[in-house]
A and B are shown apart, each in its own frame.
Chain A
């Protein structure tokens, strides 16, 4: 029957297409695992949490997989709160945080400081203002100063860009620079990740934001805070003091594969990777 033929044709072609796609996938997924059979470590490590730690964790994971090809390190973002929650619930092997844990969060968790990171104040490259005092930064972020001319710039409204509440970088910025009383103005643009902060400031000539030093690149300009710029160099030589720890969190003492990975992160090879964009802990 003609009808049956058509249906069969459609079904068969759809199936063929699916098989082709799936075949392509399975081939791809199996290649990394069967390249090296000599190494002793094998398995998957999952990490999620702070987006500040994310690029560093990706680099460390990649390097670890190069040494042990049978190990796969899966890195996901989410934010510091996710990292702490996921580690506590045991939904990931390692949680990442970009601030110290509070006393309420600590029970049952073991933290490993893998790096230290500065918090830079960044503006658009077209911005003429290059120096701000700590007080000016507080006033700008809390909404007391709203125009660039009040700090020696052009007559333009300031766009304050910030992270969400719960973000490790925001908490660290609050603790290190804003202090206990000042609050980030409600009118601030809020973006869900460090990457989005950088993109927003790069696109808006009158924007200002705080950003993990590891994220600073040529698309944004770092302003001097009390005369010192939050650059990697200044963070490393200790002149820039707005620095917070980057943590890996495990539920209980790390063991097995996870311990090997943490040891690798703290080894010379690991800390060399850290030193590209962050401050090593040793």
Chain B
């Protein structure tokens, strides 16, 4: 190996990096393009607005699935957003750096790494069985709140910390109480960041499957209340792929998922850019 001159090594290494990098990104993008190409031809307004025929036939569209997904995510956000913002305010504005705060931060970190299926087991034991919410959208939503809380807290905390110190000092100097400063100055200024955090959570919620597989029951029917069972888009992809041979329908549903993720990503990137550009400008 010693005989290789730095120049040759340079050439070999660069070729390796280019080849490895290009092949990797190429393969990954091909997966996405494959799903879109196979899925989009089956996509139509009809597909989006027709109810699926039944659990096992694979016929029909995904209207009830979309409704279940919206119910689920709506319920999740109603609980998640206030709790997440509250926790983030505490960590960013009040938290002294003592042991208790350290434990909270450690908890948030660990919670972020716990696999979805463990949350599923927990949701199954607590919400489905112990609290008698049965297999329902409510059980699924409460489980999702537990999963998404770390993401919500961390992203919101970043946004609140991004608000320039001068804002707080200005408000306090004018005689505002601490809470007035937070609620009327800091939070409004951090709002775009909070929205980014929320959308990020929506994106993650849309991709979750395992925890919902064991808490939502998987009924494809139109949900009539939060205590109805339900099926999300991701679960529908799983059921279609495993139990029917309607692979084109599965691909079409997967394509819808990818399109939603693309929209969510573009929107968050756009918001984040604007937010940080403005905050930077104000310092």
Q: Which residues of A contact B (CB under 8 A)?
A: 3-4, 6-7, 10-11, 14, 18, 21-22, 25, 28-29, 32, 44, 48, 51, 54-55, 58, 62, 72, 74-78, 89, 91-92, 191-196, 199, 202, 219
Asked whether, in the complex, the Cβ of B228 is within 8 Å of the Cβ of A74, the reply is: yes
Q: Are B135 and A76 in contact (CB under 8 A)?
A: yes
A199 touches B56 (CB 8 A): no
A sample of 9 more A-B contacts (CB under 8 A), given A51-B56, A92-B134, A194-B243, is A22-B70, A28-B222, A29-B222, A54-B56, A58-B56, A74-B228, A75-B55, A75-B219, A195-B244
Which of these binds chain A: B35-43, B113-121, B188-196? Answer: B188-196
**Interface presence of B146 (CB below 8 A):** no
CB within 8 Å for A199 and B135 given contacts A54-B55, A55-B55: no
**In the complex, are the beta carbons of A76 and B217 less than 8 A apart?**
yes
Q: Contacts of B74 on A, CB cut-off 8 Å?
A: 18, 22
Contacts of B134 in A (CB 8 A): 91-92
Across the interface, do B219 and A76 meet the contact criterion of CB distance under 8 Å? yes
In-complex Cβ contact of B229 among A6, A29, A76, A199 (8 A): A76
Residues of A within 8 A of B184 (CB): none
Write the chain B residue with the least CB distance to A8. Answer: B191
| Nearest neighbor of A14 in chain B, beta-carbon distance | B195
Asked whether B245 lies within 8 Å of A202 as measured between CB atoms, the reply is yes
**B217 — nearest CB in chain A belongs to which residue?**
A76
Establish whether residues A10 and B221, one from each chain, have CB atoms under 8 Å apart when the complex forms: no
A194 to chain B, nearest CB (A): 8
Residues of B within 8 A of A3 (CB): 189, 278
Partner of B56, one of A11, A55, A76: A55
Indicate with 1 or 0, residue by residue over B229-262, a CB within 8 angstroms of chain A CB atoms.
1000000000000111100000000000000000
When A and B form their complex, what is the total count of cross-chain residue pairs whose Cβ atoms lie within 8 Å? 84
Among A4, A55, A91, A92, the most chain B Cβ lie within 10 Å of the Cβ of A91
The residue of chain B having its C-beta at the shortest distance from the C-beta of A25 within the complex is: B67
CA of A234 to CA of B260, assembled, Å: 49
Q: Report 21 cross-chain contacts, Cβ distance below 8 Å, ordered by A residue.
A: A3-B278, A6-B274, A7-B188, A10-B192, A18-B74, A28-B67, A48-B135, A48-B217, A51-B56, A54-B55, A55-B55, A58-B55, A74-B221, A74-B228, A74-B229, A75-B219, A75-B221, A194-B243, A195-B244, A196-B242, A199-B244
Smallest Cβ-Cβ distance to A72: which chain B residue? B224
In the assembled complex, the Cα of A77 lies from the Cα of B74 at a distance in Å of: 25
Q: Are B218 and A76 in contact (CB under 8 A)?
A: yes
Assembled-state Cα–Cα distance A14/B198 (Å): 11
CB distance from A243 to the nearest CB of B (A): 21
A77-B55 contact given A22-B70, A29-B224, A91-B134, CB 8 Å threshold: yes
Closest to A82 in B: B135
Q: List B63-83 residues whose CB lies under 8 Å from chain A.
A: 63, 67, 70-71, 74
Q: Which B residues are CB-close (under 8 A) to A6?
A: 192, 274
Interface residues of B (CB under 8 A from A): 54-57, 63, 67, 70-71, 74, 129, 132, 134-135, 188-189, 191-192, 195, 217-219, 221-224, 228-229, 242-245, 271, 274, 278
Cβ-neighbour of A193 out of B242, B245, B274 (below 8 A):
B242
Chain A residues positioned under 8 Å from B223 (CB to CB): 29
Cβ-defined contact, A195 with B54, below 8 A: no
Residues in A with CB closer than 8 Å to B224 are: 29, 44, 72
Given contacts A3-B278, A192-B242, A199-B245, contact A74 B55 (CB under 8 A): no
Which of B54, B219, B243, B245 has the most chain A CB atoms inside 10 A of its CB? B243
Q: Which residues of A lie under 8 Å from residue B218 when comparing CB positions?
A: 76-77
- Contacting residue for A78 out of B63, B188, B217, B271, CB 8 A: B217
Is B243's CB under 8 angstroms from A199's CB? yes
Q: Which B residues are in CB contact (< 8 Å) with A62?
A: 54
**Who on chain A is nearest to B77 by CB?**
A18
Query: Which residues does chain B contribute within 8 Å of A219, judged by CB atoms?
Result: 245
Which residues in B have their C-beta under 8 angstroms from that of A28? Answer: 63, 67, 222
| Chain A residues with CB below 8 A from B57, complex form | 55
* B212 shortest CB reach to chain A, Å: 13
A10: chain B residues within 8 A (beta carbon): 192, 195, 271
Is B54 within 8 A of A55, CB to CB? yes
Taking each of B55, B228, B271, which has the highest tally of chain A beta carbons within 10 Å of its own beta carbon? B55
Whole-angstrom distance from the CB of A165 to the nearest CB of chain B? 17
Q: Are A195 and B70 in contact (CB under 8 A)?
A: no
Q: Which residues of A contact B55 (CB under 8 A)?
A: 54-55, 58, 75, 77, 195
When C-beta atoms are compared, the residue in chain B nearest to A32 turns out to be B222
Q: Which residues of A contact B274 (CB under 8 A)?
A: 6
- Residues of A within 8 Å of B244, CB to CB, are 195, 199
Once bound together, how far apart are the Cα atoms of A91 and B243, in whole Å?
Answer: 25
Q: How far is the CB of A52 from chain B (nearest CB, A)?
A: 11
Residues from chain B with a CB closer than 8 A to the CB of A199 are 242-245
| Interchain CA distance A72-B268 in the complex, whole Å | 40
